[in-house]
Amino acid sequence: MSDHLDCFLAPKGIVVVGASSDSSKLGYSLARNLVQTDFNGAVHFVNPRGGSLLGKQIYTQIALVPDPVDLAVLLIPAPAVPAALEDCQNRGIQAVIISSGGFRETGPEGAALEDRCLQIARRSGMRLMGPNCVGLIDTTQRLNATFLQPPGPKPGGIAFLSHSGAICAAIIDWSFGQGFGMSRLISLGNEADVNETDLLQSVAADPMTRVITLYLEGLSDGRRFIAEAAQAARRKPLVALKVGRFASGRRAVASHTGALAGQEHAFNAAFKRAGVIRANTAEEMFDWARALAWLRPLAGRQIGVLTSAGGPGVTAADALEANGLRLADLDRATQGALQAALPPAASVRNPVDMLASAGPEQFSGCLQLLLADPAVDGVMVILPPPPASSAGAIAKAMIPVIQNQTKPVVVALMGDRLIQEAIEHLQTAHIPEYRFPERAAAALAALAQRHEFLSRADEEPELDPGVNRALADQILQTAYETASPGESSRGEQSSMMLAPDQVVRLLQAYAIPCAPLELAASANQAVLAARAQGLGQPGRRFVLKIASPDLVHKSDIGGVLLNLDSEESIRAGFDLLLERARQAQPEAEPERKPQAVPPNLLGVYVQPMAPSGQEVILGMVRDPQFGPMVMFGSGGIEVEGLKDLAFGLAPLTRREAVEMLAQTWAGNKLNGFRSIPPADREAVITALLHLAQLAHDFPQIAEIEINPLRVLPAGQGALAIDGRARLG
Amino acid sequence: MSDHLDCFLAPKGIVVVGASSDSSKLGYSLARNLVQTDFNGAVHFVNPRGGSLLGKQIYTQIALVPDPVDLAVLLIPAPAVPAALEDCQNRGIQAVIISSGGFRETGPEGAALEDRCLQIARRSGMRLMGPNCVGLIDTTQRLNATFLQPPGPKPGGIAFLSHSGAICAAIIDWSFGQGFGMSRLISLGNEADVNETDLLQSVAADPMTRVITLYLEGLSDGRRFIAEAAQAARRKPLVALKVGRFASGRRAVASHTGALAGQEHAFNAAFKRAGVIRANTAEEMFDWARALAWLRPLAGRQIGVLTSAGGPGVTAADALEANGLRLADLDRATQGALQAALPPAASVRNPVDMLASAGPEQFSGCLQLLLADPAVDGVMVILPPPPASSAGAIAKAMIPVIQNQTKPVVVALMGDRLIQEAIEHLQTAHIPEYRFPERAAAALAALAQRHEFLSRADEEPELDPGVNRALADQILQTAYETASPGESSRGEQSSMMLAPDQVVRLLQAYAIPCAPLELAASANQAVLAARAQGLGQPGRRFVLKIASPDLVHKSDIGGVLLNLDSEESIRAGFDLLLERARQAQPEAEPERKPQAVPPNLLGVYVQPMAPSGQEVILGMVRDPQFGPMVMFGSGGIEVEGLKDLAFGLAPLTRREAVEMLAQTWAGNKLNGFRSIPPADREAVITALLHLAQLAHDFPQIAEIEINPLRVLPAGQGALAIDGRARLG
C-alpha cells in the first residue's frame, strides 16, 4: 500500500492524460508546468488526438506510454475517468491523480461516478488522489504536477496539505512576499481514496520538510488522524487551520455533555493530544510555520524584548501576555551591561528601549547581552524604520549574533519600503520577521507550544488495571436485555437509557464512588429501603427521585425531594412524586409530546443524602469524528448557561485531567476560595480518569453524565449523586 | 485657545529653531522635509550660527524671523528650550512644537524642565505640542513638520493621532504597501500641554479627513475624552488602538466590583459610549480605517459572499460568524438569476461559489445580482489567483458595479505577485482589499459598528427626576459626621465604609428597594426588632448578620445566620454571632492583621428573609480615568471566580443597561431557564439605572455593591439583600 503512496511523492515517470496543446486548457498548463520545472523523472503525454507538445510526442493511448511511468495525472472530462483508470491499471500504473472536477462536489450523479472510480481502484490496490484537486508539487524533485499559473513555490522547509485547491494557488503566490519556500504541496480534493492522514508519515519522513501545515475542512477518521499526527509530530511540527468552525453538527443528545460537546471542542482536544498546533487563520499558520521551520522550540516562556521605540515595546508586552508569554526579569548583570552600552535615557529593564538613535552596533550588542541572560528563553527584536541609520544595516549586524546561539529570535520589522533590505537579509538568513509585534509574539507562542508538546509526547493515557471490566460488561449486557417492550416502543433513544441503579453499578465497577440508590415501587418499599440505610438515626436524611426513563431532567418538574428524615415524610414524598410524574410530559422525544403519552413510571429512588461539598459535573460523549470525549466543569442545572467547561479525549493522561480542572472555575474552586473550603481535588481527577477509561473500554456507551459529583473535603473523596447513561 | 490650536494645523508661517546644515542632524531632516514638501506657507530657519540652508537664510535669533510666522518647531537641546519659548513669546508665536527629547521621559530632572516649559507657555496662553515627539504632517497643506525619512504619507482620508512617535515612522512607511493615504498625522509626545482630546474637534472638522485613527497609551481625562470623542464621532468614524492593556493598575478596593473593574473594562465601556471602534492591533486599526474612509456604514449584518473557490468561502463564513455577522439568505429570484449565469456545478446559495473558471463577466454579473438582493446588506468578494484569467481584469470589471451602488463591498484578494494589478485597481478605486477573508470580515464588522453607533448616538443616559437626591445628600453628610473616632483610627478606608443601615437608606433614596434592616445592640433588641417585622407569623423567618465595620466579608466567617423563626433562635443566634465576631480578624486592612486588633463590634443586624428568587450582583466603582462605572453579573461569593460580569459607564442609557444584562449569563437567566422561572428583569434594569444615577450624582461615593440583589418573579420587583458603600 505505502509503496503506491510513494509513487505520488517520488514518481519515476509521470503521464499526463488529457495533455493539450491548447494553451487555454488546464491540460496544457499541467504539461507546461511539468516540463518547465525540469522534473528529474520521465514526463509523458496522452491525448487521443496525438501530435506533439513542448517538444514531446503525445501518445494516443495510455497503453502506448513507454517506461518509466508509475504516476498518472488525469485532466479529462469526469465521465471518461473510469475508462482511463482501467487503462492505467492495464498499463501497470498504480498511482493516479484525478485532477478533473465533476464528481461528488456536483451532486449525487457525480458521487456515483466517484464511487465507481474508487471501486476500480480498490480492485487492484491502485491509489487515487483527488478527484477535483489541483495536484501536487515537490520542489526537491522539481516536480510540479499542478495546472496552476507559474511560478511554483520556491524550495523551502514547509510542506502544505490542503483540502481546498483554490487556497493552494493563493498560498503559493502569497509565499513570495512572505519569504517562505515549500518542500511539498499536496491538494487532496474530494479524498475519494488518499486523505490527509495517509500522507502524514511520508511527509514527516521527507528530509527537506521541516514543518507540516494542514488546511482542513474535516477529517474522515479522527482517531486515526490523532494517532498518525502524534507520530508525525514527534519528528516534525504540525500546524493546522481547521475551517468550517460554525458548521452546525446537530445530533440527538440526552445530556448537557452531549449538547455542549461541539466539534470545536473535539478538534481542540484532538489537536492538543496529537501535538498539532491550531492556527485560526492562514496568516497565522504560515507565520508560525516559518518560525517552526527555522528556529528551535522555545524552552520557556520568558521573553526579552529589544526595541528602539517605547510604543511598540508596550504593544509587544501586551501581545506576549495575550499569548501566554511573559517579559523576562533581566539579570542585574545584564542590566548593568546594557546601561554601559546605551545612553542614560535608555531603559534597560525589559522591554529594553535603546531609543531611536540606536544603530547596528547597539542592536547587535544589546541583542547579544539579552541572549546571554539565563532568564531569557527567547527574544523579540522590534525594528521600526530608524531615523538615522538603515534597517538593512541593523538587520545585517544582528544576523551573526542570532546564528551563533540557540535561543529563538523573531523580529518585528515595522514598515514597508524602508525595511525591504532588512526583510531580504532576514529571510535569507531564515530569521522570521513580521510586520507587527503581535504577530511576532504569536509565533513565539507557537514555539513554546512545540516545546511543551515534545516534553509530554511520551505521556500515556492512564488506564487503571484495578477496574472491574467484566462486571461493567455484564451490567451493559443486562441493560440491553432488560430494555422493556414498553420502553422500546418509545423509540431507540429512550429505550437505551440505563436505569439509574444500573448507572450506579456501572460507575462503581469503574471505581467511581456513588451515593447508594434503591428503587422503590411503593411507599412501603421506600420506607424499607430508607430503614436499611439508617432512617431514624440522628442526622440521617434522604432524597427521593422519580424513577422514569421518560423524565430525563427530573428537577425541572420537581421530581426530586430533599431532606426527608421520617417514615411519614417518605410516604408523603412518594405520593407527591408519583402525582407530579403523572402530570409531567415525557421530554425525551419532543416530537411525541403532543400525544401526551403518560410517562412510564417505575416508582421512586431512595437515596441517603450525601455530606455537603462542592458540586461539579463529569460527562462523556462520543464525538462522531474523535470518539469518546470527557467533560468537566460547573454542574447543576445551569451548566448549559454558565458554560464553565473543559473537554478532553478519552482515555485521558493524568496531565490532561489536571489541565481540564485548571481550565475551569469549577476546577480552581476545588482548591478552596474564600469561605469555600478546599475539596478533594485528587478524587475528582481519579473519577475523571476512570470515567474516561470506561468510555474508552465500552464503545456501546454513547453518553454518560454525572451531575452532580459531590466533592467532599480534601482526603474524603467524591460521590456521584445523580448519573445517567445512554447506550448507542 | 482654539485659535492657537489652529496655528498647529493651519500655520501661515513656520520657524524651525535648531535648523542645521549638517545632514546627519534631525534639525536638517526637519528643514529638508518642510522645504521638499513645498509647504504652501512661509518657512524660516533659526540657528545661532547663522548661514543659509536649502537656499534660505538662517536667522541667528527667533526675534529676527520676519512675518508671517505663527508656529515654531524646536529641535534644540532640552535645557535650551525654556529660553527659546520666551523668545517665541516675545516674537508673538503662540504655537510651539517641542520635538526635542530629554524631558519627562528621562526622569525627574527632565520632568521639572518640562514643567518649567509649561509654566512659560501658560503665562501667555501659548500652546505646546510635545515635547519628545515626531511633529506633525498635513498632506492637504503639503506640511511635513517632522524629521522622519521621506517620503511622507500620500494624501488620503485617514488622520492619525499617536502617543508613540516611533509608530508614526512605521505606519507611514507601511501605508504605501497597504494603499492608504493620510490627511494628517500628529505625534503627541509627552503631551505636556496639547493632548489627543484637544485636537479631536479640529481634526473631525477637516474636510479631507474621513476617519480618525488613534494610537493611545492612556488618557489624562477620560470623561472629557468621551465627550469630545462622542461629538467627533458623529461627524467622522474614530478607531483606536489602546496599548498597555496588561499594565497593572492596582488600588485599594473594598468590593468585588472594585477588584474586577479593571481599566480594560473601563476603556471598553468608554469607547462604546463615545462611538470609538476599538482595534486590537495596528493592522486592524488601518484595515478598518480604510473601509470606514471609503465605504458607507453597513446598515445590517447580512453579508453576501461571492467566491470562485469553496475553501475560502468556508473561511469567510467562519470569519463572518466570529465577527457577529451572518450569511444573508438569498432571495429565490437572486438564486435563480445566479443559476442562469453560472455553470450547473456552481453553488448559488450563500457563499455563492462560481467555481474556479469564473472570469470578469461572472464576477461582475454575479456581484450585481448579490448587491441587488434586498436581503444583502454588504458583500465580501473572494478572489484567489484565477487559473484561467487575470485577477486584474476581474477587479477592473467589478469596480463600476461597486461604484454604482451604495452597499459596502470589500475584497479578499488572496496572493501576492499574481494579484498586484488587481490591488492597484482596487486601491485606486478606493475599494478596500485584504489578503484573507478573516481581515475582510473584521472590516465589515467595523462598518456595522459604525452604523450601530450612528443609530444610537442621540440616546441620553436615563436620569430619573423622581429620586430623592436631597435625602441621599443628607445621609452621606451624616455618614461623614458620625464616623466614630474608633473607626477613623483604623485608617481612612475602613472609616469611610457606610453602615449597612445607612446603605439601605441611601439606596432607598434612589428608589432601589431594599430588605429592611435594623441594628440590634443586644439580644433583647434583636427580638424586639424581629417582632416589629412580624416574628411569630406563619412563614416569617429572619436573618441575623454581624454588624462591624471591620468585617467586610461577613459570610466568610460565618457571620450570617438564616431561617431564624423564633425568639429563642434569635437570642441564640445573637450570642453565636458575637462570639464568632470576637474570634474573627478584621480584614479591611491586611497590614494591620498581625496586631490582632479585635473588631469594632456594633451588634447584629436583623432582617426579615426576603422571598426567594434569582440573585445577581450590582456594583459601582470609580475608575481613575473615566469616573463612575457600574457592574452587573452573577453574584454570591463566587463573583470574582466566575467573572460573569458586564460593565458600563454611569449614568447609563437604557440600552446600555439592557446590553449589560444580555452580555452575561446572570442577565440571560432572568428570562427563565429550565426549571428556573422568569424573574423581574425590568426591576433589575431600573435598579441598575438608579444605581448609575446615584454614582453619577455623588462623586464622594467611591464604591457601592449590592450582593445579592434578589430578583423576584416577573412583576414582583427586586430587593437589595446586602449592600455596602465606601466614601472616597
Contacts of A674 in chain B (CB under 8 A): 553, 556, 637
Name the pLDDT band for A597 (thresholds 50, 70, 90): low
The residue type at A708: P
With residue A445 as reference, give the H or E element that holds it: helix A437-456
- Summarised one tens digit per residue, pLDDT across range B374-407 is 999 999 999 999 877 899 999 999 999 999 999 9
Which residue from A minimizes the CA distance to B172? A415
Confidence (pLDDT) at B601? 80
Does the structure show a pLDDT above 50 at A207? yes
**CB spacing of B167 vs A309 below 8 angstroms:** yes
Who's near B247: CB < 8 A, 6+ residues apart? B263
Whole-number pLDDT of residue B246: 62
Across the range A418-443, mean pLDDT stands at 96
The average pLDDT across A18-31 equals 93
The mean pLDDT of A378-383, rounded to a whole number, is 98
- Minimum distance, in Å, between the CA of residue A643 and any CA atom of chain B: 9
d(CA B722, CA A519): 43
Residue B84: its pLDDT value, please? 97
Q: What does the pLDDT look like over A515-556, one tens digit per residue?
A: 999 999 999 999 999 999 999 898 899 999 998 877 767 777
CA distance B445 to B410: 11
CATH superfamily placement of domain A469-489+501-608 = ATP-grasp fold, A domain (3.30.1490.20)
Q: What is the ipTM of this complex?
A: 0.90
Q: Does B555 touch chain A (CB under 8 A)?
A: yes
Q: Does A642 touch chain B (CB under 8 A)?
A: yes
Fold match between domain B480-608 and domain B614-727: no
What confidence category does residue A24 fall into, taking pLDDT thresholds of 50, 70 and 90?
Answer: confident
Strands B701-711 and B614-623: antiparallel
Determine the average pLDDT of the residues in A114-121: 97
- Supply B50's cell numbers: 547663522
Q: Evaluate if residue A718 carries a pLDDT over 80.
A: yes
How confident is the model over B562-617, as pLDDT tens digits? 989 999 999 999 999 988 888 876 654 444 444 455 677 888 999 999 998 999 99
pLDDT in tens, A285-335: 999 999 999 999 999 999 999 999 888 999 999 999 999 999 999 999 999
Give the contacts of B673 (CB within 8 A, at least 6 positions apart).
A637, A638, A641
CA distances from B183 to B4, B43, B482 (A): 20, 21, 59
d(CA B564, CA B558): 15
pLDDT for the residue B251: 42
Q: What's the confidence (pLDDT) of residue B583?
A: 81
Q: What is the pLDDT of residue B257?
A: 66
Judged against a pLDDT cut of 80, whether residue B119 lies above it is answered with yes
Asked if A321 has any chain B CB less than 8 Å from its own CB, the reply is: yes
What DSSP string describes A210-235? Answer: SEEEEEES--S-HHHHHHHHHHHHHH
| Average pLDDT over every residue of B83-101 | 96
Judge whether A434 and A440 are in contact, CB under 8 Å: yes
Question: Residue B415: its chain A contacts at CB < 8 A?
Answer: 169-170, 173-174
pLDDT of B1 strictly over 70: no
pLDDT of residue B357: 87
For chain A positions 28-87, those within 8 Å of chain B (CB to CB) are 29
Question: Helix %, strand %, coil % for chain B, to 5?
Answer: 40, 20, 35
Contact (CB<8Å) B169/A385:
yes
- Residue, of A667 and B23, whose pLDDT is higher: A667
CA–CA gap between residue B397 and residue B405 (Å, rounded) = 15
Reported confidence tier of residue A699, pLDDT bands at 50, 70, 90: very high
Report pLDDT for B450: 98
Per residue in B219-271, pLDDT tens? 889 999 999 999 999 999 999 999 886 654 334 455 666 666 678 899 999 99
Q: Which of A14-23, A490-499, A686-695, B204-213 has the lowest mean pLDDT?
A: A490-499
Mean pLDDT, residues A497-501 taken together: 87
Share of chain A above pLDDT 90, in %: 77
Superfamily (CATH) of domain B480-608: ATP-grasp fold, A domain (3.30.1490.20)
Chain A residues with CB under 8 Å of B166 CB are 308-312, 356, 384
Residue A403 pLDDT = 96
Q: Which residues in chain A (478-507) have CB-CB distances under 8 A to chain B?
A: none
CB contact under 8 A, A676 and B637: yes
Binned at pLDDT 50, 70 and 90, residue B91 comes out as: very high
What is the gyration radius of the CA atoms in chain A, in angstroms?
Answer: 32
Residue B561 has pLDDT above 60, yes or no: yes
pLDDT, position A682:
97
CA nearest neighbour of B37 among B132, B133, B179, B135: B135
Using the predicted structure, report yes or no on whether residue B3 has a pLDDT greater than 90.
no
* DSSP symbol at B250: -
Other CB atoms within a 10 A radius of the CB of residue B711 amount to: 24
- Helices (DSSP H) in A261-323: which residue ranges? 263-274, 282-294, 310-322
- B-interface mutation test, from A188, A416, A645, A670, most B Cβ less than 10 A away: A416
pLDDT tens-digit map of A223-280: 999 999 999 999 999 999 998 866 543 344 556 666 666 788 999 999 999 999 999 9
CB contact (8 A) between residue B173 and residue A416 = yes
Q: What sign for the dihedral angle of Cα A488, A489, A493, A499?
A: negative
Q: What is the C-alpha to C-alpha distance for residues A265 and B306, in angstroms, rounded to an integer? A: 30
Residue B127 has pLDDT above 60, yes or no: yes
Mean pLDDT score across all residues of chain A:
91
Look at A63-77, A509-523, A591-605, B669-683 and tell me which has the smallest mean pLDDT: A591-605
Q: What is the pLDDT of residue A625?
A: 87
Asked whether the beta carbons of residue A387 and residue B29 sit closer than 8 angstroms, the reply is yes
Residue A601 banded pLDDT, cuts 50, 70, 90: confident
Average pLDDT over residues A41-51: 96
The residues in A 87-116 lying below 8 A from B, measured between CB atoms, are 101-102, 105-107, 110
Q: What separation in angstroms does the CA of B648 have from each of B225, B260, B375, B656?
A: 16, 13, 33, 7
- Report the DSSP pairing between strands B135-138 and B182-187: antiparallel
- B165 and A309 within 8 Å at the Cβ level: the answer is yes
Using a pLDDT cut of 70, give the percent of chain A over it: 93
Residue A595 has what pLDDT? 47
A483 pLDDT tier (thresholds 50, 70, 90): low
- Give B206's pLDDT tier (boundaries 50, 70, 90): very high
E strand or H helix at A413, and its extent? strand A409-413
Whether pLDDT at B103 is above 90:
yes
Domain map (residue ranges) of chain B: 2-247, 296-456, 480-608, 614-727
What would be the CATH architecture of the domain defined by B614-727? 2-Layer Sandwich (3.30)
Residue B163 with chain A: CB contacts under 8 Å: 311
pLDDT tens digits, A47-86: 999 999 999 999 999 999 999 999 999 999 999 999 999 9
Q: For domain A296-456, say whether CATH 3.40.50.261 is its number.
A: yes
Within 8 A by CB and 6+ apart from A297, the residues are A408, A447, A448, A450, A451, A454
Question: Of A110, A243, A311, which is closest to B167 when you measure between CB atoms?
Answer: A311
Partner-chain residue, chosen from A26, A318, A322, that has the shortest CB–CB distance to B387: A26
Q: What is the largest CA-CA distance in chain B?
A: 101
Cβ of A673 and B641 within 8 Å?
yes
Sheet of strand B603-608, all strands in order from the earlier edge strand to the far edge: B518-520, B603-608, B542-547, B560-564
Can you tell me which residue has the cell 453560472? B342
H/E stretch holding A528: helix A523-532
Which of A410-419, A466-475, A555-564 is predicted with the least confidence, judged by mean pLDDT? Answer: A555-564
CATH topology of domain A2-247: Rossmann fold (3.40.50)
Chain A residue numbers touching B643 (CB-CB < 8 A): 665
Contact A675 B558 (CB under 8 A): yes
Nearest chain B residue to A107 by CA distance is: B345
| Å between B244 CA and nearest CA of chain A | 6
Quick check: B385 contacting A, CB < 8 Å?
A: yes
